[in-house]
Amino acid sequence: MTPDQQLDFLTHAVRDEVVCRYLADRVRRSRRLSKLSQVELAKQAEVPLRTYKRFESHGNASLNTFVRVMMALQRTRYFFMLFPQEPIAKRSPRA
């Protein structure tokens, strides 16, 4: 999928399970690109292997597990994009 297709897919996802599975799939791809096994990543993330495997195969994980995995993959720098900073309102000059 192209980035535009991914954005369209996520924008129109009607169930949270679809989004969770999408995120798990992206994590799996990142893990493989990093040449890490599930065992290695689970160990680096300090989560039980069974928990990690469940996340990767079904998208089921706690927020804590997801954050730990993202930290292990060194992807937390992207979290700021979830809530972009709103521009500061300009104040009118005082008379």
Does residue 16 fall inside a structural domain? yes
CA distance 31 to 38: 8
| Residue span of the structural domain in which 7 resides | 3-75
Does residue 92 fall inside a structural domain? no
Of 33, 20, 16, the closest CA to residue 73 belongs to 33
- Provide the number of structural domains found in the chain: 1
Report yes or no: 25 and 15 within 8 Å, Cβ to Cβ.
no
What pLDDT digit, counting tens, does each position of 13-35 carry?
767 888 899 899 999 999 999 99
HSE at residue 29, side-chain half, CA atoms within 13 A, is 6
Residue 18 pLDDT:
85
Does residue 82 fall inside a structural domain? no
Residue 60 pLDDT:
93
CATH of residue 54's domain is: 1.10.260.40
